[in-house]
Structures are given as structure tokens and as C-alpha cells.
Amino acid sequence: MTATSRFDISRLEAAQRVPGKPRHKTREVKVGSVVIGGTNPVAVQSMTTTDTFDVEATIKQIHALEEAGCELVRVTVPKPEDAGALSAIRAKIGIPLICDIHFDYKMALAALDHPVDKIRINPGNINKAGDTTNDRFRQIVRKAKDKGLPMRIGVNAGSLETEVNLKYGFPCPPAMVESALRYIEVAESEGYRDIIVSLKSSDVLVAVEAYRMFAQMCDYPTHIGITEAGKPPYAVTKSAAGLAPILRDGIGDTIRSSLLGDPGPAIAAAFVLLQATQRRVRRPELIACPTCGRLAIDLEKIIAELESRLNGKRLPVKISVLGCIVNGPGEAREADIGIAAGNGQGMIFRNGEMVRKVAEAEIVDALMEELARWEGENAHRIPKVAEGLGRRKLPVVAG
């Protein structure tokens, strides 16, 4: 830029250089062995698809979810036999159990007689039409309080109270937030504050704005999700389109990716989203250039071998593998460890500096060696609770 440029670059010079907003400060709510909110990692949860009263099938599915990394699980309780199965299910699983009530407040009261860790209710479906006392909701709150159990107030755009919809005209973000605040105030009037809130919609724009509005007004932790996202792969993209801006705004304390079918793949989708938005880094990030005419190494083979050898690593490290000389060197310098390769050899970069050249056949071994060296040099600067934090851009060590 010249001194006579029409662009005001002083704004750029004063801008934040490492992008991202800090985590929205929320109060902590304990759900069994998992603490939601505060500075705790964004917890990943899911919901079973079985009939809850089929104890064997439900436990089997929960065990599969646990293997996939699920940290809290929700089961639906629409019938007395479902409530009756809760004790047997809770005794056989290792993660907190959440009971889900959609309509009948009596089922909520019945479920709370069993050893669950949280209850989720949809207040828009619970209260009797025209009951301004919120008697049914209050009964649930009182019992949850007596049991020392937390509650998720699950506001859904598809089931808002009639009076709220009439006030705003349709299920818009302000209507959803007002609905949540109404029930929060009712719960607080009963001396109850072990609350988590969700504001779900199948409309991405509505959900994003509702969570943003709520975060500006309240410090209760939020459960985030895009409801009824549909069938993969579109549903994965739709969920990411809605949840990514929420997470990047620092909002969200627990997350569910809602996908049609087996709930197992949704766990992986949620963790990938947390990793991509740098809200919860659980493993190395592996960057690879797209396949194009400039590619001069067997990149797919190298990436496959690296993925296999990185499996199980829990480091907030960025590894870049570029297969051409056009963008490769610059991108490799941006990563913690990088390689720019072509024509049978590669240049290894660590902390932005080129450290050596290796033959194509030695690239994977060389990268793993550099990773071990990087880990040793940076161990004292890596946050001890790396799973709860975004990737930190560690300073380059001179010399």
C-alpha cells in the first residue's frame, strides 16, 4: 500500500491477529460425573433410537455410543414402562443418563423417581393451555430440586406456547428466547438454578440468532443443536452451517449433532465440528492439499499412513502436508509441523522454519520424528486440559 492509498489500513493494523471469540461465560451445572458450562470442555451427547422399555437393546446402543466417545446420553420416556426401565439402564452404563419428556408432566414426575442424572422437558408442550400459574412445570421443578437434579429447558421453534407465537407472529428468535426466559424466571422463583437451556430449530438462521440473543441476556449454559437436520450427508453440512457460527461466537457448553438413523456417526460429526472450530481439540489436525494437476507425490498414500500412525494422539498440533511447490512452502510454515513436497522429495518445516529435506519414501517417518521432537519441546506450554481449549498458536522458540 502507498501513502496515498484509498484504503484505511490502520484498521487492519489494529485488528485482532489471531481470530476467534472467547468462550461465553456461563455458570456450571453438574450432570452426574460431567460438569457443563464454565471453562469445562464442550460435552458431546446423543439420544438413543430404541424403545426405552427394551432395556437390553437400549443398553446395547448406549454402550456403542460410549465406544464412539459419547459423554452423556438421553432416552425418551413417553410411557410408564419407559420410566420403569430407567433404573436398570442406569445401572449398566458408564455415562450420565438423561430422561426426555415431551408432553406428559406425570411422566416427568415418574422418571424423577429413578436414578437419572438430568431431566429434559419441553415447557411449550408441558403446561396446560391457559394455565398462567405454570403449575405442571412448577411440580417438575420442585421435584428436580428436591432430588438435586439438573434440568434442560428445551425450547423448540416447532412447539412454542400459543401466546408467544401470537405475540411475535411466528416462531422467530425473539419468541424462542422469551419463552426460555419465562421458564427460567419461574424456576428461579422456586429457588432452582440447575438449568441448561436449548433453543432448537430446523431453520439454521433462526437457531443461530436465537442462541446469540440468549447469550447476550443470560449466563445459563446452553445445549446447542440444529433439530431435525435430516439425512447425511446434507444433515452433516446443515448442522455444521448452524453450529459453527454459534461455537465460533463462544456459545455452547454441550452439543448434539442430530442426524437421521444410527446415532453413532453423529458423535464423530460433533467432535469433528468442535475440532474444526477450535473449541475442543482432541487430536492433531492434519491438513492436506486438494488433488490437482500440480500434485507431484502420492499424497493419498502418505495421508492414509499418517492418519493411521496419528490415531490415539491427543495433541493440539497442526500438521500440514502439501504436495506441490506453489502453495506448499507458505502453508507448511503456518503449521506447527509441515512438509512441502514434490518430485520425489519434501522440505520439512517446524515452527515456521525449514529444518531438513527428505526423500518421498521417508516423509511419514520424518514427520513422526518431528512430531515427537515438537511434543518434547512444547510439553510445558501445552494446556493440561487440552480437550477443553482451542489450538493455541505456540510461539516459535529461537535457536
Q: With 0-12 CB in 10 A as exposed, 13-18 as middle and 19+ as buried, what is 367?
A: buried
Q: Which amino acid is at 59?
A: I
Which residue, 113, 186, 190, 198, is CA-closest to 153? 198
- Going across the sheet that includes 337-342, the strands are 285-288, 318-322, 337-342, 345-350, 353-359
Query: Which of the two residues, 49 and 323, has the higher pLDDT score?
Result: 49
pLDDT band at 67 (very low <50, low <70, confident <90, very high): very high
**264 shares its domain with 345:** no
| pLDDT on residue 396 | 39
Total domains in the fold of the chain = 2
Instruction: Identify how many contiguous H helices and E strands the chain contains and give both numbers.
Output: 14, 15
Per DSSP, what are the bridge partners of residue 45? 72
Residues 189, 74: one domain? yes
Q: Which of 309, 332, 330 is nearest to 321 (CA)?
A: 332
CA distance 347 to 119: 55
- The mean pLDDT value for 46-53 works out to 96
The per-residue pLDDT for 260 is 86
Say if residue 299 is in the same domain as residue 243: no
pLDDT of residue 64: 97
Count of Cβ atoms closer than 10 Å to residue 228 Cβ: 16
Domain encompassing residue 142 = 29-276
Domain boundary residue, one of 276, 298, 315: 276
Sign of CA dihedral 134, 136, 139, 145: negative
Select from 214, 244, 276 the last residue of a domain: 276
CB 178 within 8 A of CB 148: no
Q: Residues 266-301, buried b or exposed e (16+ Cβ, 10 A)? A: bbebbbebbbebbbbbbbbbbbbbeeeeebbbebee
Of the candidate ranges 86-95, 170-179, 309-318, the one whose mean pLDDT is the lowest: 309-318
Whether residue 314 is found in the same domain as residue 380: yes
Average pLDDT taken over every residue of the chain:
88
Amino acid at 307: E
